[in-house]
Structures are given as structure tokens and as C-alpha cells.
Chain A
Amino acid sequence: MTILPRAPRRPSNLLPMLGVALAALLLYWPLMLWANSGQAARSLASGADLGCKTALACATQLRNPVIPAPGQFATGFTSLSVPPLAPTSAPYNALVTGGETLLGLALASVLGLVLATLLVRSRSFERATLPCLVASQTVPIVALAPMLAVLLGQYGVQGFLPKAIIAAYIAFFPIAIGMAQGLRSPDPLQLDLMRTYRASPAQVFGLLQVPASLPYLFTSLKVAATAALVGSIVAEISTISFSGLGKMLAENSRASDTVALWVIMIYGAALGIVLVALIGGLERLVTRWRPPA
């Protein structure tokens, strides 16, 4: 560990990232053969006719492989993605889940702003609720999702909305805390300046505190996005739903269709990454005045 002066510009990560991706691809083939050959050997020993001689040869042709072979991946992808907007295809269901999550995040932002305002305005409110809110975060809120889904269904809230409400319920806490921090972030100098302008409390709030809290809002939105996505997927699993990644996961998990599960997993991962990127893009758009990080 020699000490070098810090380079003025960091080299691009692209080449090492490609290298790691390549290494993962090279590892994938032997890992797939190793993971599947055990199951293949067991099937062969039980006398099943798989259309191949040795366990190693059968490893790429199992009906329910542990890790799918490239050919199986390709067929799985095409059968789940074409046509992209059919009710049974993964892209359509990913869009539904993504929409629920975004609606949930919007609801959570509104609720978070209200809560944060109350927290900043009243110290007794903060003292009475903040410890309860913090404790509620160590509670497995997702465990409430199946129950909330049943409850909302009883009162006639159905379809898109219950999933969004559950997503919002999971996402609102980091947002409220982040916003409260943001509303407090203007320094005394700026507050003094507003006072010399004879700004009303409402003006101080709308013109100084809310804009100052926006970067905090987006930071917490990024944290909340993944949690909200988990919430809407769990909500889809535990309610009667006709679309969404959660419903696809539950169906294929019951049918033990491993190839489909892998494909849905990749779609879910992509959806999570896209959501966070979307919020990042929105952040750059909304907080133009800040120098890019």
C-alpha cells in the first residue's frame, strides 16, 4: 500500500467491469454443469429417459434445472417476453409492478412531507411519534403486507391501489426522516436573510425550506424505492392479483418452473435498477441548481 498522490481524474470503470462480467460468464458454464449434474444423475439412476447417456450430457437438458443452460435461458426469455405486452409476458407484468411502486412512492412522498413538516414544527409531536416511527422500522413491516391486503380487500379497495398503499406504507418512513432532515438543513444565515426580507413563515417554508429539502428527498427516495418494490411484489403475492411480477413469481414457484423463475428474477432485478436510475434522472432534472455530484 504505497501512498500515491491522488490522480486528478479517475480512470473509467468500464474495462474492469467488462473483465469481471467476462469472468462470470466463463465461470457460469462449469458452475451450471456442476449444479445440474447431481440432479441429472439422480434422474438417470431412477430410470427416467432423458434422451441422453451420461449425467454430464443431460445437465443442459433438465426440465427443471438448478441453473438453466444458455439454450434454456434463450427459450425461456423469448417465451416470456414475446409479445411484450401480452398479459402473460414478463415485460407487461414488470410495467404493472413498476407502476404500483411509483404510485406508492408518490403517496409516500406526500405523506412523508406532511409528517416531516409536523416533526419540524412541533417538538412534542417529534418526541411522541419519532421513537415509535423508528421502532416501527425494525419491525418486519413486510409481514403486515399479507394482512393489510386482506384488510383493504374487505373494505373494497381492490386492484392497483392496495399494492400501492402497501408500497407507500413501507416507503414513507425513510422519506419522512430524510425530509425532516432536509427541512432543517437551511443554515441560520439563510433564515436570517429571509427575515430581513420580511418573509412570512409560509414563504420561508415554501421558498427556502422545501427547495432545500429536495436533495434529501431524492436520496431517501432511492433508498425507499427498493423497499417499496419489495412491498408491492409481496402484496401481489398475498392478494388475488391478475398481473404483476409477484403474481408471476407465485405462479411459477408453485409450478416449479425454474427457468421462468430465473427469467422473472432478472426482470425484477432490472426493474429495481431502472427505478433507482429513474429517480436519479428526476433528481438531476429537479435540482438543476446543484452542481452534479
Chain B
Amino acid sequence: MTQDSMQTAVLPVRSGFGLPLLLLSAAGLLGLSALLAGQTAPAVAWPWLLGVLALLLVGAVGIRQSAQGESRTARILPAAANLILAVLAAEAVLRAYAVPTGLIPTPSKVAQSLWAARTVLLQDAYYTFVLEALLGFVVGTLAGLGLALLAVRFRILERGVLPYAALLSSVPIVALAPVVIKAAGLGWPSKTIIVAITVLFPVVINAVRGLQSAQPMHLDLMHSYAASPAQIFREVRWPSALPFIFTALRVSSTLALINAIVAEFFGTEGHGLGFRIQIEVGRFGLDIVWAAIVVASVIGISFYLLISALERFVLRRN
């Protein structure tokens, strides 16, 4: 933080110059890409690289300027600018060095492929997200909550099963996937089972921890009110468990999609983002691979944000 304030003092630019600098950098990078679009490939690439680096430096100063203060733009703009400038710089550098699409496709090529293959990718996303990740997430969460309730109710189960759950959560899912797929078939249900298993362990561990996190004072109080076990559960144990459960859900929301994709590497009936990625890598169709990754990322981030929003909503009401 001291460096930040020093930088502001040393640089002869006021913080109001952040946005213009960013726009200048972005426009410059766009211009470089446009200049490169006409010809096949420049004979010498390094002047272009130098130009890109210079413009990135301008952008970095812009980011630094716009990150000052506590306003809403100061929080959001730097990250967004970082992402956009990185994509633009990648476009310019890849064009300058004429990197073949089979190796690293340019962002614009990925965008084109994304649009061209949108129906196939959306169908893949339906299989991977709705049928496998989401369904597995729901099944795994419900099973995990049920198991946690049993474990809290019967101490013997907690002491016998929970250590195994902690142990099994460090098992790599890929080792499990082929066996489950051989047993349950190549269709989507086998992937749903795998997702459910991966979601199960964090939910069980966190739910048990949460259900036991009720403060002894509160439990004593409820006891002196002659509350029934059901009332104690509803009024004290469940509310105090909710934050723990939502932590597990947030972690598993990303795990669910990732594991659905990984499980698809081991056999499908020809649907799903993981299948698409594997097939296209084999054919060096890396523009489709990147497009599939973009689709998966958008879904993953949305799902994560959705669970976080649900968490805030539920926790505020309790």
C-alpha cells in the first residue's frame, strides 16, 4: 500500500487519467490487430511485440490509476480492464507471430467458432450441466444432508463413518470414473453418479461440523424451555449449520461441473462438453476446445454466483 501511494506521488498523472489511459491502450491494441489482419504474417515480429508491450505498459499504468480510491469503479474496473487488455494483447501477439490455429487460436477465431458451433455446444452444455452436474449436485447434497443428520443423531455412526468420509474426500475422482462408467453404462446417469459422489463428501463433513456447532449455552437455554428435540433442531441446530452447509455447497458447485467434464473423458455416448473437448483436441480443433471452455466457464461462474446469492438470501432471512 505504501508503494501505491509512492507511485501516485512519483507519476505525473492524476488518478482521473486512469480511464483515458485504459481506452488508449485498448484502442492501440485493437489497431495493431486490425493492421495485422490485412497481410498474411509480418516478416519480423519483434517490433509488433514491442508495440504490444508498450501499450500493455500504458494499460498497466491506467489500471494502477483507476484502482485508487474506494468507489465502485475502482473495485470493478481494474479486473475488467485486465481481462479485456489480456485478450486484446493475445490477439495482436498471436497474429504478429502467425501462430497456427491448431496450436493457439486467436480470441476472434474462438468467438467465430463459438457462434458457428452454438447449437452443438448448447446441446453439450445441456448434457454436461443440467443432466450431469446439476442433477448430481442435487442428489449428492440431499444424500449428504441425510447422512449428516443420521451421523449427528447416532454418535456411533459419526465415529464410524465420518473418518472414512474425510479420508475418501482426498481420493482423486478420475480414479473412480472408469469403474463407475463401466458399471453404470456410457449414458449420462453414470456421470451424474460420479458428480453426486464428489459432492457428497464435502457436504457430509461440513453439515456434521455445522450441526454440532450450536453453542452449548443456546442448547442449555432451549433445554430449560423444555423444548422438544425437533424444536431444538429447528430453532438452534439447523440455523447454526446453514453457514457451514453453504460453504460446502459453494465449493461443490464448481467441483460438480469440473468433475462432470473430467468424467466425460472416460466414455460418453457422444454428448457433453468434456467429450467435445477431448474429441476436438485429438483433431487439433483448438478453436472449438476454447469455445467449449468459454461456455463451461460462463456456466461455472453463473452457477457459483447463483449459489452465493442463494446463500446471502437464506442467511439474511435466518
Chain B CB count within 10 A is highest, among A121, A147, A238, A264, for A147
The chain A residue sitting closest to B176, CB to CB, is A265
Docked CA distance A250–B181 (Å)? 13
**Smallest distance from the beta carbon of B267 to chain A beta carbons, Å?**
7
Q: Is B121 an interface residue (CB 8 A)?
A: no
Q: Which of B175, B257, B266, B296 contacts A245 (CB 8 A)?
A: B175
With A135-B301, A261-B182 in contact, is A230–B172 under 8 Å at CB? yes
* B interface residues with partner A (beta carbon < 8 Å): 1, 3-4, 63-64, 67-68, 74-75, 78-79, 81-83, 103-104, 153, 156-157, 159-161, 163-164, 167-176, 178-179, 181-183, 216, 219-220, 223, 229, 232-233, 253-254, 257-258, 261-262, 265-267, 273-274, 277-278, 281, 284, 286, 289-290, 292-293, 296-297, 300-301, 303-304
Which residues of A are found within 8 Å of B277, using beta-carbon distances? 143, 146-147
Contacts A245-B175, A265-B179 given: A138-B266 contact, CB under 8 Å? no
**How large, as a class, is the contact surface on chain A?**
35 or more
Q: Is A50 an interface residue (CB 8 A)?
A: no
Known contacts A20-B160, A253-B266: does B171 contact A132 (CB below 8 Å)? no
Q: Given B78, B170, B176, B223, which contacts A127 in the complex, CB threshold below 8 Å?
A: B78
- Our pick among A17, A122, A261 for the contact of B164 (Cβ within 8 Å) is A17
Say yes or no for A200: interface residue by CB 8 A criterion: no
Contact of B172 among A132, A233, A238 (CB under 8 A): A233
Closest Cβ of chain B to A128, distance in Å, is: 4
Interface locus among A69-77, A106-114, A205-213, A272-280 = A272-280
Report yes or no: A1 in contact with B281, Cβ–Cβ below 8 A: no
Residue of A nearest to B60 (CB): A128
A273–B163 alpha-carbon span in the complex (Å): 12
Asked whether, in the complex, the Cβ of A138 is within 8 Å of the Cβ of B82, the reply is: no
A256 surroundings in chain B (CB, below 8 A) = 182
A265 in contact with B67 (CB, 8 Å): no
